[in-house]
Structure 1
């Protein structure tokens, strides 16, 4: 590599000399201040072998390796020279090559040294934060590169549980993933946009989708299509067909002369979309294509199309080659074939490292439907969703990591851990002052365990995240729709990870009071795992004196009936959660409602009164009367055993369920009979055999899809969840009203999620120690039901204070 030395009185002056001598693509070897000014060592980009380059853009990620003292970097991680504000200016010329030969050796030595230091820093981080090993392996399985993960995980806080560490990593990825802030940023008047990339990535189809979007903004008269693809058979004919359908002109050009001529005939206010021939990243014609677009006589923005189904190393090579092809800088990227990819991590990784804002993602072949404009949160959530059908053949397993880590176990570095523990001990007396009862005892280990519970259980994790967004001093930048989609993806990920056959959507409502004191109601759909663990709430309906509004976007002056509101919830979930195997649980209803719900082709279970009329053996009867004739049997292990500590206000271990079921009919004039399964559940005192409570249910599910034991457990879970709705009302009362955009529906969403978290906090057998801490900080040992919500909020505040 030929290195030249430049000297200037200021950094700006030295950089101008570099640009004048070596051009805008010069590579900076070092930048340091010496007596009298600034010294810069730089090299021509063409003199650096491509094989030795580090993937571009790593330093852009927060936590990436920073320059060594003196501002120098190893040659393997040379940064691009800044572009802004550099104008040619006379100055001293470059030093002859013979005078910088020694600097080559020094640079190589420094590069090796800094690489070694980087390795030591990474190894030290693994010793301080062992959870980084598990997180590293997990994210590798999602397709992210080792380069990005090492840069990111060096900043991983200590004392995080596995789930908390994954949540931290998710937030880091969301923060650093470059996305277009809004479509209006792209579709400016007079835009000339070209898609570039290798063959077969879907550029022509994507151009058609973009054209359809643009057409809605500017109309047929404001759009022109160009193609330079004259190599593939039928390529330009395909684009012409799209143009005929949309009634927009299509021009075919073969070289820069034809491109300039075509550009001259297009009005300055018209939008131009250019489809280019696909060129392999290893083809020498890439530079010619870049030169042709640069010489079009009009500013052409380029978007790189990345195939999400490609291997990460291939995507890296594509991005590196097209970023350094000598043309105008890439404006960003479009990720194609997302529907064909088993993992999205590699594509997002490439966008982060090369600083390529993601404009759109293509999710199929349909034009124009399969083109989405996602947020960073949506993309990261999609990348971190567990694919049950895929196997990470190209990522190390836990056993692989365990074997590798066992080869060398360095001595533990407890210095930083001791500092953290010392800080916590200093904070503990102040934290304990919140306890009302004198003499309350709580160790820091207890507090750690309580905070760890918040990081482990899904409902508290999501409630804590929403609470932080809602109570932050700045407005929440995530839209209500964004939060809803995130909740659905979380539920989908939990279902896939645990191989659940069903998820339960519990539909219920609770009475609340508005800020003016008038009464209203808050209706919600609560997603639960089939074993009784609460997850998220994607749908809320808020009815107050001044009107009714739903998180789904509907609003009316008068609230709909309970039946209509329920149908809207079920329909919305059916449209937005096709991948989730949902069973809908609700209370009561009429025969007409049951028929309407069944017509939606969904599974459902309703808790009904004993007086509900049905037909059995062609005889009219009631559910309660029929139950007296059925044979009951005990349920050995209810599905909720690991999720509920109390049933009917008694310890779950002190009761036993007895269940009976039978097929019945619901008959109406001029309508076909509706076959349903009636389920009767007796909650029996294990000590004396007395019946504590009897529950009745009707369902369109039969033994082939869910056993009577399962339906019986779900009925009990629904009854307990209904009792837990009082936590929602309590949360609504405790939350202050904000005046940001969408603050009222966001408050409703947070109140419901807090209610789910408090219900789990009160019921979960694994939350015993966390309940003890909550009882301490509220001064209510045993944590009575009414105290669960304030205790949960205080735990959130404690978690913030000790930065766990």
Structure 2
């Protein structure tokens, strides 16, 4: 510890002497005026070059342990004091800024309360003018925020091809797949889409798709691997839409396994990443980073109605380059599924009370809706308007020579529930 006393005309002169004698790391311990002269006491943790010569090592070994303990305690106090002074300086600067810009400071505080990142909040208020009213400034900020969230307009649902949904477990991939299939069915009919699942890990993972496929009259195929998907895509018409459901994976597993990497050069596959709005910002960042290996081209945001702080989600969306394509805010298959609406998301994130979006598949009559994902008999009657594809009954013992055959017309839909999932066999897909 090097403690020195300086006498100067003013504080500026004293600080100059301290820097010259003890360096920029010196800490001012006290200052007072004595007979018109400013007296300053400064200290550094390490001895300066002008300090007195160090004592011989022999004397150090005989120095009482209490002295070393006192020096260590004094060093800790100096470090704490320096940290406290730095914090006070930052707070003082922020308070001074808030006094000069009360409108911007109030809006920034409100954004942070809504879950937005502090740095993002300060960036968003950068263009506000103090002569604006609070409502004008808030409206301008809302518009700017909504325009900053990227969106995309997909073409795969119209032109056909292979579309795979990836994402963490419980994100809502299977439900989203059913919703996308219904969108396609409303426009082009049941024979324009095939549902595929690669999820063989989760027990009963295909049951939801199985029920939907049975009611909608579309085939649901359980594939063994990606090579089977390649074979199916090659046998399908160019304008046929193949929707692929994948198993949920943790961020670590997704980063280690590059899904569809073996067949991307052989067939064009578009991948969408399904993310739930219920994730915390840190977890969502991990998911986005981990699933980059799947090469997603768009995002689907689900479970908006279950999110407590949607501002956290929008903060993360603004940090990355993928655009939002669809969003969902409930369990109903059709009414709670919407094209990306950043203005609606922004209002929700800002805590503004607004009515829920009312969405329908394009060109569908008002009566043709699915209000219950459990598929009641009324839903079956609605979906019966779509002419079902021929069904294939699944034998207990695989038969490579089995051919596709239409289901008897006398059979009811309930009797076909167990036949809506078709294990992949090359002979089965010869007709696609």
TM range (shorter): 0.5 to 0.7
Pairing 1:135–2:107 present? yes
Measured against aligned partners, the alpha-carbon deviations of 1:393-440 in whole angstroms (never above 9, x if no partner) come to: xxxxxxxxxxxxxxxxxxxxxxxxxxxxxxxxxxxxxxxxxxxxxxxx
Partner SS for 2:297: strand
- 1:359-374 matches, within 5 Å, as 359-374=325-340
Q: Which residue of 2 aligns with 1:309?
A: 278
Question: Deviation of residue 381 (structure 1)?
Answer: 1.8
The answer to whether 1:207 aligns with 2:177 is: yes
Q: What are the residue-to-residue correspondences of 1:483-562 with 2, within 5 Å?
A: none
Offset of 1:222 from its aligned partner? Answer: 0.9
**Equivalent position of 2:316 in the other structure:** 350
Render the CA deviation track for 1:15-43: whole Å, top value 9, x for unaligned. xxxxxxxxxxxxxxxxxxxxxxxxxxxxx
Q: 1:174 aligned to 2:143?
A: no
**Superimposed CA distance per residue, residues 38-78 of structure 1 (whole angstroms, 9 cap, x where no aligned partner):** xxxxxxxxxxxxxxxxxxxxxxxxxxxxxxxxxxxxxxxxx
Q: Does 1:375 align with 2:344?
A: no
Gaps of 5+ in 1: 1-118, 388-487, 493-804
What is the SS of the residue equivalent to 2:151? coil
Counterpart in 2 of 1:159?
A: 131
Contact 1:143–1:312 at 8 Å: present in 2 too? no
2:193 aligned with 1:223, yes or no? yes
Whole-Å separation in 2 of the counterparts to 1:346 and 1:207: 26
Give the C-alpha shift of residue 374 in structure 1: 4.4
Structure 2 counterpart SS, 1:193: strand
* Structure 1 pair 162–255 and aligned structure 2 pair: CA distance change class (3 A): same
State the Cα deviation string for residues 168-227 of structure 1 (Å, max 9, x = none).
Answer: 21011122122245x6x4523123221111101111111111111111122111101111
The 3 A distance-change label for structure 1 pair 320 and 285 is: closer
Asked whether the 8 Å contact 2:227–2:263 carries over to 1, the reply is: no
Higher RCO (CA < 8 A, seq sep 6+)? 2
CA distance in 2: counterparts of 1:267 and 1:186, whole angstroms: 14
Change (3 A) 1:245 1:239: same
Query: Which residue is 1:320 aligned to?
Result: 289
Per-residue deviation at 1:230? Answer: 0.9
Native 8 Å contact 2:255 2:291 kept in 1: yes
The answer to whether the aligner puts 1:233 opposite 2:233 as a matched pair is no
> Shift of residue 270 of structure 1?
0.4
Would the alpha carbon gap of residues 212 and 273 (structure 1) be closer, same or farther in structure 2, given more than 3 Å must change?
Answer: same
Q: Output the CA distance in 2 between the equivalents of 1:296 and 1:288.
A: 17
Q: Is the 8 A contact 1:260 1:295 kept in 2?
A: no
Q: 1:372 aligns to what SS in structure 2? A: strand
How much has 1:151 moved relative to structure 2?
Answer: 3.2
Aligned residue in 2 for 1:252: 222
Q: For residues 550-608 of structure 1, what are the alpha-carbon distances to aligned partners after superposition, in whole Å with 9 as ceiling and x for unaligned?
A: xxxxxxxxxxxxxxxxxxxxxxxxxxxxxxxxxxxxxxxxxxxxxxxxxxxxxxxxxxx
Q: 1:126 to 1:192 in 2, by over 3 A?
A: farther
1:331-353 per-position Cα deviation (integer Å, ceiling 9, x unaligned)? 22111111222232223332222
Distance 1:126 1:193 in 2: 50
Deviation of residue 288 (structure 1)?
2.0
- Give the alignment's TM-score, normalised by structure 1: 0.31
Measure the CA separation in 2 of the matches of 1:139 and 1:213.
36
Do the aligned partners of 1:194 and 1:275 also contact (CA within 8 Å) in 2? yes
Q: TM-score, length-normalised on structure 2?
A: 0.55
- Cα deviation for residue 386 of structure 1 reads 4.3
Of 278, 283, 288, which residue of structure 1 is paired with 2:257?
A: 288
Q: Tell me, what secondary structure is at the counterpart of 2:196?
A: strand
In structure 2, do the counterparts of structure 1 residues 299 and 211 end up closer, same or farther at CA, with 3 Å as the change threshold?
A: same
- Unpaired segments of 5 or more residues in structure 2? 1-89, 357-432
CA distance in 2, matches of 1:266, 1:287: 31
- Total equivalences in the alignment: 265
Residues 219 and 160 of structure 1, relative CA distance in 2, 3 Å threshold: same
